[in-house]
Amino acid sequence: MASDPRNVEIKYTKLFIDNEFVDAVSKKTFSVLNPSTEKVIVEVAEGDKADVDKAVAAAKAAIARGSEWRTMDASRRGLLINKLADLLENNLDEISAIETLENGKTFEFSKIITSLSVNVLRYFAGFTDKIHGSTIPTDGPLLTMTRKEPVGVVGQIIPWNYAIMMATWKWGPALAAGCTIVLKPAEQTPLGALYLAALAKEAGFPKGVINVVPGFGSTAGSALSWHPDVRKIAFTGSTQVGHFIMESAAKSNLKKVSLELGGKSPLVIFDDFNVDEAVEIAADAIFSNHGQNCCAGSRTFVQSKIYNEFVTKAAAKANSIKVGDPFCPESQQGPQVDKATLDKILSLIESGKKQGANVAAGGNRVGDVGYYVQPTVFSNVTDNMIIAKEEIFGPVQSILKFDTLEEVIERANSTEYGLAAGVLTKNIDTAMVFAQAVEAGSVWINCYDEAIGPHTPFGGYKQSGIGRDLGEESIKEYLETKTISIKL
């Protein structure tokens, strides 16, 4: 890699279909921008319906009866996934530089996330030869067994906030189950996924097993979710698009659907918890990855007795966060991903000001080049304000006041989202009552956003999603169960 990671060479800019990098059928391209400089990094081939059709056909042939992938020993599938993990690890700096270039997260954070992605692939590699059915005692002189089989061609549509990690979250279980894949990365961040595709070819995956079609959601994404030969769609993104995915699955071929969607997650801080420690945990919960986390702790509920002290310290903490060039080692927060996201965050900040919340820190754009936002803290936030209800997906902390456990459980749950929640208290009874009552797929006690690893199922209640990524549960999303009975 170039000595300055900013100058990382971009080698892969075409669609990856059937183990080849190819132009789009239309020959169209689109620009990928650097959110830090607002300059074009490179032009990338723009996939559309015709390209999705080609990719799905390749993926279908790759899983056909008698194909190399279909007949491959399960343990060998595991070796291939492990090889991909090794290659990702060997190229960690280069792929992390690409993630920072196109997404804007700090280079140091990109490296952490990429190494977590290596772990994800290794976890699923270990599963390939441990997927099996059972024998079932049935009435009559019968022997009954179940067999686990891959669902077939899967379409995977992912967002930009963790481009590499989202790809590995989706590829790991799909490949472990023996499915073949057509991935549509987000339009802002196709480069990391294309690099990963090149590594998959080098690892030795047969042609057609993994295909990557960059393009836009309304064209390439939609073509994938409507495709009659795609048997499952795995989607991560906004709740709004999640509704479109369900609709297209229902109206096309009843393909299976798993959805990881948005959130407005509560972090509840009781007055028996050390305030300084709580401020640190709450800041990480919301400001990590510039607030572009689906499970961000974006509603900070603080008990009355410590509310004022907490707000003062939370504001000081936000003011201390260094915002700047994501390649600079001192930077703790880079730019938001694009102009539309920047504008949406700034307009939500304005709505907070207009509705009477108090700006305790930040509240503005930083500079006029690059999509930088000041880490922002609002106090005196009430449940009916837009900033307390809508997902901001930016570095904006909303601090709300509460008095009792029963009250905060009800308020935490009064949202259509249900992705994650956290509670900070020294009272185990309080913590467990909250953890059991809160409607959320992940709950952290005395920490936040920790232990999201390959082993732990991750996903949402209510309109935060359907199904789970990660853990053994995620593999089930890619399997059919066949029941075979033998008359004895």
Instruction: List residues near ligand TAP by CB under 6 A.
Output: 157-161, 184, 186-187, 216-218, 221-222, 225, 236-238, 241, 244, 260-263, 294, 391, 393, 419, 460, 465
Give ∠ CA 403-310-398 in degrees, rounded to 5: 75
User: Closest approach of Cβ 64 to ligand TAP, in Å?
Assistant: 26
Could you tell me if residue 229 is left (phi over 0), alpha (psi between -120 and 50 degrees) or otherwise beta? alpha
Annotated active-site residue in 46, 260, 391, 477: 260
Annotated active-site residue in 46, 102, 179, 294: 294
Is 260 in the active site? Answer: yes
Q: Which is nearer to ligand TAP, 7 or 218 (by Cβ)?
A: 218
Distances (CA, A) of 372 to 60, 395, 474: 43, 10, 35
User: Closest approach of Cβ 66 to ligand TAP, in Å?
Assistant: 32
Q: Which is nearer to ligand TAP, 31 or 304 (by Cβ)?
A: 31
User: Could you tell me the two tokens for 228?
Assistant: 């009659």
Other residues' Cβ atoms within 10 Å of the Cβ of residue 334? 27
Q: How far apart are the first and last CA of the chain?
A: 64
User: Closest approach of Cβ 295 to ligand TAP, in Å?
Assistant: 7
> DSSP character for 401?
E
| Contact call for residues 63 and 70 (beta carbons, < 8 A) | yes
User: Closest approach of Cβ 83 to ligand TAP, in Å?
Assistant: 26
Task: Compute the distance between CA of residue 110 and CA of residue 106 in angstroms, rounded to an integer.
Answer: 6
Q: Which is nearer to ligand TAP, 333 or 379 (by Cβ)?
A: 333
Question: Which residue has tokens 């690890």?
Answer: 89
Q: Which is nearer to ligand TAP, 282 or 294 (by Cβ)?
A: 294
User: Closest approach of Cβ 224 to ligand TAP, in Å?
Assistant: 7
Is 295 in the active site? Answer: no
| Contact call for residues 301 and 311 (beta carbons, < 8 A) | no
Beta-bridge partners for 402? 303
Q: Which is nearer to ligand TAP, 157 or 267 (by Cβ)?
A: 157
User: Closest approach of Cβ 189 to ligand TAP, in Å?
Assistant: 8
Q: Which is nearer to ligand TAP, 32 or 80 (by Cβ)?
A: 32
Question: Which residue has tokens 């008095």?
Answer: 403
If we measure between CA atoms, which residue out of 87, 447, 85, 430 comes closest to residue 285?
A: 447
If we measure between CA atoms, which residue out of 180, 356, 381, 344 comes closest to residue 262?
A: 344
CB nearest ligand TAP: which residue? Answer: 217
So which residues are the catalytic ones? 260, 294
